[in-house]
């Protein structure tokens, strides 16, 4: 284990094939640790998106308009301050 700045690093063993695979996807200026960190971030992002899609597909949702508290808050907010819709960018 080596401490570099505020990060602790540790060596990991990989096969020659794995090192070659990492080298093939390494971006200019990246170290192998950077590649591994990027792959881990990408995997976490993919897992999170898969979770959200699963919740959207299988989740048990309640219509907000049928909730009395939400309706009261919505009416209060909508009636309290007129919005300048000319400043809004239309969504297509």
On whether residue 91 sits in a domain, the answer given is no
Residues 63-75 have pLDDT tens digits of 777 788 888 888 8
Domain membership of residue 87 (yes or no) is no
| Per-residue pLDDT tens over the stretch 11-25 | 999 999 999 999 999
Residue 84 within any structural domain of the chain: no
- Say if residues 35 and 26 touch (Cβ distance below 8 Å): yes
Residue 83 lies in a domain: no
More confident residue, 84 or 62: 62
Residue 9 within a domain = yes
90 within domain boundaries: no
Q: State the residue range of the domain holding 36.
A: 2-78
pTM reported for the whole predicted model: 0.58
Q: Is residue 88 part of a domain?
A: no
Distance CA 88, CA 70 (A): 24
Domain count, the chain: 1
């Amino acid at each position: 284990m080596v401490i570099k700045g505020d990060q602790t690093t540790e060596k990991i063993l990989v096969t020659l094939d794995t090192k070659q695979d990492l080298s093939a996807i390494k971006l200019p200026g990246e170290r192998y640790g950077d590649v591994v960190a990027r792959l881990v971030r990408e995997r976490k992002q993919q897992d999170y998106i898969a979770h959200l899609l699963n919740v959207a597909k299988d989740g048990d949702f309640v219509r907000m308009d049928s909730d009395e508290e939400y309706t009261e808050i919505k009416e209060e907010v909508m009636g309290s301050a007129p919005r300048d819709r000319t400043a809004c960018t239309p969504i297509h």
